[in-house]
Amino acid sequence: MKIIVDAMGGDNAPVSNVRGALSAVRELGVEVVLVGRGEEILKVLKEDGVDDLPPGVEIAHASEVVEMCDNPATAFKEKKDSSLTVGLNLLKNGAADAFVSAGSTGAILSAATLLVKRIRGIRRAALAPVVPTGAGGAVLIDCGATAECTPEYLLQFAFMGSYYAERVLGRPEPKVGLLNIGVEESKGMDLQREAYALLKQAGEAGRIHFVGNVEAREAVYGAADVIVTDGYSGNIFLKTMEGTGGFLARQLKAMFQKSLLTKLAALMVSGGLKQFKKLMDAGEVGGTALVGISKPVIKAHGSSDDFAIKNAIRQAAAFASAGIIEDITENIGHMRLPVGGMEKI
């Protein structure tokens, strides 16, 4: 398995990206192609005592970098020799099995869509992070790639999220829920009500395991393995979860530091606190899958350290070997609205 890594994308590039890639080669048994300014990549290697490229590591030189201030819709065109553009072209041409970047989300989405292309028949690609829940995690789809959606987009998100949950998370017949303000079928705006009808019909046909509407609270408790929503609502849901996790962590830390007695109590529950921290750490997952693109693309968090980059590469390898893209391609006919109605879904 060979993974392309954008060595120049993210807040901690190229240091964390290079170190994370080397860790992935050593620990995961993958091969990596580091794309970026060759001299800077070699400098990081030399600083870590690596004089020669280790087996399984290649460098593809790219002289430019897509910055956060660049226009995300056009940066990959304007900077044709950027690590993002060069890396995705390598993926498009079959030089490796998947692509990982911690760079600009918008730029990655635009470049992947226009260079690598969507799977034929997929209307919009979706960002599908795995979020922590009471049931061991769920696929949230979409969380920001497409703010304004149609019912057909949500239908496709449901199928793609279901395949991802089954293949990558190992959930047989994953429960698919539609994020809404209530569980009743009549709840929500036109988008949610029309999407509900489509998902219900797909569920009755046995194509997905649709469990109906889920409120945000119940989604966090673990009511669904796949949480389907438009990118606008999904991003709010995701950022609220991240903020709540950070808030609780800070509150717990302050509480346990109040006195000698509370510090002793913290020692007694240190194992549980470490598990909580691990549960809320985005670096444990590594990144977010961009589902619907014709080849596997993983968006790592912009602040990723080497541990997070290594896990993003792990996730990319799992995505590439899971057969999700093949599942989507084979079942695209069930994910499209027929002309004249819903009867044939």
Average pLDDT over the chain reads 93
The answer on 280 and 146 residing in a single domain is yes
The verdict on residue 332 lying in a domain is no
Report residue 343's pLDDT band, with 50, 70 and 90 as the boundaries: very low
The answer on 159 and 196 residing in a single domain is yes
CATH of the domain at 304: 3.40.718.10
The verdict on residue 92 lying in a domain is yes
The answer on 315 and 253 residing in a single domain is no
Instruction: Provide long-range contacts, Cβ within 8 A and 24+ apart, for 192-200.
Output: 194/151, 195/151, 195/154, 195/155, 195/228, 197/151, 197/342, 198/151, 198/152, 198/154, 198/155, 198/337, 198/342, 198/345, 199/154, 199/155, 199/158, 199/228
Can you give the pTM of this predicted structure? 0.91
Identify the helix (H) or strand (E) that includes residue 35. Answer: strand 31-36
Residues in the chain: 345
The verdict on residue 330 lying in a domain is no
The answer on 170 and 265 residing in a single domain is yes
The answer on 166 and 114 residing in a single domain is no
Structure-model confidence comparison of residues 23 and 344, the more confident one: 23
The verdict on residue 234 lying in a domain is yes
Q: Which of 263, 284, 305 is the last residue of a domain?
A: 284
The answer on 116 and 199 residing in a single domain is no
The verdict on residue 243 lying in a domain is yes
Cα separation, 188 vs 89, whole angstroms:
41
The answer on 6 and 111 residing in a single domain is yes
- Tally the domains of the chain: 2
Cα separation, 102 vs 21, whole angstroms:
13
The answer on 314 and 189 residing in a single domain is no
Mean pLDDT of 22-38: 97
The answer on 160 and 244 residing in a single domain is yes
* DSSP state at residue 334: G
Report residue 184's pLDDT band, with 50, 70 and 90 as the boundaries: very high
Q: Are 30 and 2 in contact (CB under 8 A)?
A: yes
Report residue 283's pLDDT band, with 50, 70 and 90 as the boundaries: low
pLDDT at 104: 94
The answer on 250 and 316 residing in a single domain is no
The verdict on residue 10 lying in a domain is yes
The verdict on residue 76 lying in a domain is yes
Look at residue 7 and give its three-state secondary structure: coil
The verdict on residue 113 lying in a domain is yes
The answer on 246 and 137 residing in a single domain is yes
The boundaries of the domain holding residue 50 are: 1-122+292-325
The answer on 115 and 1 residing in a single domain is yes
Cα separation, 120 vs 288, whole angstroms:
21
341, pLDDT greater than 70: no
Report pLDDT digits (tens) over 96-155. Answer: 999 999 999 999 999 999 999 999 999 999 999 999 999 999 999 999 999 999 999 999
